Chains A and B, each alone.
Chain A
Amino acid sequence: MYWNKEMECMPPEQRRKLQLERLQNLVRRVYENVPHYQRVLREAGIRPGDVQSLDDLAHLPFTTKDDLRRTYPFGLFATPLQNTVRVHASSGTTGKPTVVGYTRQDVDTWSEVMARTLSCAGTKQDDVVQIAYGYGLFTGGLGVHYGAEKIGATVVPVSVGNTKRQIMLMQDFGTTVLACTPSYALHLAEVLEESGADRSRIRLRVGVFGAEPWTQQLGREIENKLNVVAIDIFGLSEIIGPGVASECLYNAGLHLFDDHFLPEIIDPETGRQLPPGEEGELVITTLTKEAFPLIRYRTRDITRLFVEPCPCGRTHVRMSKIMGRTDDMLIIRGVNVFPSQVESALLEIGQAEPHYLLVVDRSGPLDQLEIWVEVSEKVFADEVRRLEALGKTIQREIEGTLGIGVKVKLVEPKTIERSQGKAKRVVDKRDVYNKNQ
């Protein structure tokens, strides 16, 4: 089921023409309106008129997360703030979030690509869409919300949490489409099982799962428990939020909406473009975004692209499920977590040269983050209550920085393995990228 057949099934040659037009326009816009881009394009010796073909993309400079941080909050905006109708933000590694902005047109574009995403999952006007992604600065909730409304489906903006109530609403409203993180879907499935609720009153047909990586196995488990088809959706707030790419009901890779988002795969070490089929870092250029356009944004997600047509008829380039990261970012309950955030929180408390380890596990369906902190002489106190207070302080500080609940464990010095060179900061027992297969 298409939302916009003309765009989704456009002959590839015609789409390339459209992409080039949009790319040329984009380079001109950022050159004229964003000082950062004017400077880096000049440094690269590129004038807006130099982009003559899509191959010229490879000559343009990359944009990194560091560029976003350096220009916090609005430095990369290409339109005046008065034209920005919305901002969202994601958690930052140094306490400062990454801020993204949308003009009215951008919100329309976002609704369009989310309507395509939900249509990929077979969502129609007569569906009841329960949105259990978080609402707020996080793009998940509102992104799906606008797409579902655009389709004309009945939207239940329940947000995340309060699982028993979610199940009640699901039964009473006759929810047919569930949108949430895969780990929350699994949690919901287990609560449903335990509660012994009347399954005949559950009308779920499809689950739209994203904001964190998930394996096929986890997908099958959710499908069996909730009796739904699990659809993997991909997006990131820097690019637009959810709505960058989506699986269709053929479950054969994610259709990347490349009339709006121009993807490349590069070798993360050399920055060199890789041909279709090869695994590398996903880089995206936002062709149509007005307020917050990005040229060659390095997502740090590892995947591969393939161009063979899909049985569904869409001609968009497809990407594999995310296979890993080029950095040490963790995604826990849909929230991005960097070890460096934990480090800065510990430094804040006065732990000089903190030794710490992030241990992530899926005990039950939800991810648990345990943080091991070595007790140095500097913070060691001879009284239990003072050490317990230290643990609580560390917990509060880290939770405040990360925005998710954690458990803090105080450990003896040298418990955490010292490695040559890069310290090992993470033990992830979840195997989200399916590496242990």
Chain B
Amino acid sequence: MWVRQISIFLENKSGRLAAVTRLLADHGFNIRALSIADTSDFGILRLIVNEPARAYQVLKDAGFTVSETEVLAVEVPDRPGGLAGVLDLLNSAGTNIEYLYAFVSKSAENALVLLKVENLEKAVEVLTANGVTVPDYRVVHQI
């Protein structure tokens, strides 16, 4: 199973991000990672939480436009060139990256990065063959 990211459509106006985080807090979700892609009119909030299925339902019931996306979590050596090495591997395998963002990681040696790629299987294959660790979704969601 892949890491499940929740994406939420937000208008670019004050208080919208706070509304989402307050709702998640009230329902006891822990936000493990987050990023926002924005334009002048709207934004897309992307979240990794501990219980994605339930969070999806809670957000949907509250009237937000939500979708689920499968993404890839990759351990990246926490030193200069760590991320570059991983991206080089994906690039040489012809895997296109839609977007990526970093994880709030407590582990010391490695940083955790989330990647949205076109072909998950192929990406994992390339990375693991070259000794990069792709942690299990349970580790990422902290289940």
A interface with B by C-beta (< 8 Å): 375-377, 380-384, 387-388, 409-415
Contact of B42 among A377, A410, A413, A414 (CB under 8 A): A410
Grouping DSSP codes into helix (H, G, I), strand (E, B) and loop, the A interface class, with mixed when no group exceeds half, is loop
Contact of A412 among B46, B64, B67 (CB under 8 A): B64
Q: Which 7 A-B pairs have the closest CB atoms?
A: A382-B7, A382-B69, A380-B65, A384-B37, A375-B9, A412-B11, A375-B65
Q: Mark B1-34, 1 if CB is under 8 A from A, else 0.
A: 0000101011100001000000000000000000
> Which A residue's beta carbon lies closest to that of B38?
A384
A-B contact pairs, 23 of them (CB 8 A): A375-B9, A377-B65, A380-B7, A380-B9, A382-B67, A382-B116, A383-B44, A383-B116, A384-B37, A387-B42, A388-B39, A410-B9, A410-B42, A411-B42, A412-B9, A412-B10, A412-B11, A412-B64, A412-B65, A413-B63, A413-B64, A413-B65, A414-B63
Contact of A382 among B10, B39, B44, B63 (CB under 8 A): B44
Chain A residues near B38: list those with CB within 8 A: 384
Whether A415 lies near B44 (C-beta < 8 A) is no
Shortest CB–CB separation between residue A26 and chain B, in angstroms?
A: 54
Chain A residues near B65: list those with CB within 8 A: 375-377, 380, 412-413
In the complex, given contacts A383-B98, A387-B9, what are 14 additional A-B residue pairs having Cβ atoms less than 8 angstroms apart? A377-B66, A380-B7, A380-B67, A382-B67, A383-B44, A383-B99, A384-B37, A384-B38, A384-B39, A388-B39, A410-B9, A410-B41, A411-B11, A415-B11
Chain B residues near A381: list those with CB within 8 A: 67
Shortest CB–CB separation between residue B23 and chain A, in angstroms?
A: 14
Q: Mark B38-77, 1 if CB is under 8 A from A, else 0.
A: 1101101010000000000000100111110100000000
Chain B residues near A376: list those with CB within 8 A: 65
Chain B residues near A410: list those with CB within 8 A: 9, 11, 41-42
Measured between alpha carbons, how far is A348 from B64 in the docked complex, in Å?
Answer: 24
Please classify how large the interface on chain B is, using the bins under 10, 10 to 19, 20 to 34, 35 or more.
20 to 34
Chain B residues near A415: list those with CB within 8 A: 11
Grouping DSSP codes into helix (H, G, I), strand (E, B) and loop, the B interface class, with mixed when no group exceeds half, is strand
Chain A residues near B9: list those with CB within 8 A: 375, 380, 387, 410, 412
Chain A residues near B42: list those with CB within 8 A: 375, 387, 410-411
Chain B residues near A388: list those with CB within 8 A: 39
> Which B residue's beta carbon lies closest to that of A378?
B65
> Which A residue's beta carbon lies closest to that of B43?
A384
Shortest CB–CB separation between residue B24 and chain A, in angstroms?
A: 17
> Which A residue's beta carbon lies closest to that of B39?
A384
Measured between alpha carbons, how far is A380 from B42 in the docked complex, in Å?
Answer: 12
Measured between alpha carbons, how far is A384 from B12 in the docked complex, in Å?
Answer: 13
Measured between alpha carbons, how far is A210 from B116 in the docked complex, in Å?
Answer: 55
Q: A384-B39, A410-B42, A415-B11 are in contact. Are A377 and B63 (CB under 8 A)?
A: no
Measured between alpha carbons, how far is A106 from B69 in the docked complex, in Å?
Answer: 63
Chain A residues near B10: list those with CB within 8 A: 412
Shortest CB–CB separation between residue B66 and chain A, in angstroms?
A: 7
Shortest CB–CB separation between residue B110 and chain A, in angstroms?
A: 26
Chain A residues near B63: list those with CB within 8 A: 412-414
Chain B residues near A382: list those with CB within 8 A: 5, 7, 44, 46, 67, 69, 116
> Which A residue's beta carbon lies closest to that of B16?
A412
> Which B residue's beta carbon lies closest to that of A414?
B63
Measured between alpha carbons, how far is A412 from B41 in the docked complex, in Å?
Answer: 11
Measured between alpha carbons, how far is A380 from B6 in the docked complex, in Å?
Answer: 12
Chain B residues near A383: list those with CB within 8 A: 37, 44, 98-99, 116
Measured between alpha carbons, how far is A409 from B9 in the docked complex, in Å?
Answer: 13
> Which B residue's beta carbon lies closest to that of A411?
B11
Measured between alpha carbons, how far is A376 from B41 in the docked complex, in Å?
Answer: 16
Measured between alpha carbons, how far is A307 from B69 in the docked complex, in Å?
Answer: 70
Shortest CB–CB separation between residue A389 and chain B, in angstroms?
A: 12
Shortest CB–CB separation between residue A189 and chain B, in angstroms?
A: 31
Measured between alpha carbons, how far is A377 from B63 in the docked complex, in Å?
Answer: 10
Measured between alpha carbons, how far is A375 from B65 in the docked complex, in Å?
Answer: 7
Chain B residues near A413: list those with CB within 8 A: 63-65
The residues in B between 74 and 91 inclusive whose CB is less than 8 angstroms from any CB of A are none
Chain B residues near A387: list those with CB within 8 A: 9, 42, 44
Chain A residues near B5: list those with CB within 8 A: 382
Shortest CB–CB separation between residue B119 and chain A, in angstroms?
A: 16
Measured between alpha carbons, how far is A376 from B60 in the docked complex, in Å?
Answer: 11
Shortest CB–CB separation between residue A388 and chain B, in angstroms?
A: 7
> Which A residue's beta carbon lies closest to that of B68?
A382
Shortest CB–CB separation between residue A312 and chain B, in angstroms?
A: 53
Chain B residues near A412: list those with CB within 8 A: 9-11, 16, 63-65
Chain B residues near A375: list those with CB within 8 A: 9, 42, 65
Measured between alpha carbons, how far is A214 from B44 in the docked complex, in Å?
Answer: 42
Measured between alpha carbons, how far is A377 from B65 in the docked complex, in Å?
Answer: 5
Most chain A CB within 10 A, of B10, B37, B65, B116, is at B65
Measured between alpha carbons, how far is A384 from B63 in the docked complex, in Å?
Answer: 20
> Which A residue's beta carbon lies closest to that of B37?
A384
Measured between alpha carbons, how far is A413 from B60 in the docked complex, in Å?
Answer: 10
Shortest CB–CB separation between residue A307 and chain B, in angstroms?
A: 53
> Which B residue's beta carbon lies closest to that of A376?
B65
Measured between alpha carbons, how far is A7 from B5 in the docked complex, in Å?
Answer: 77
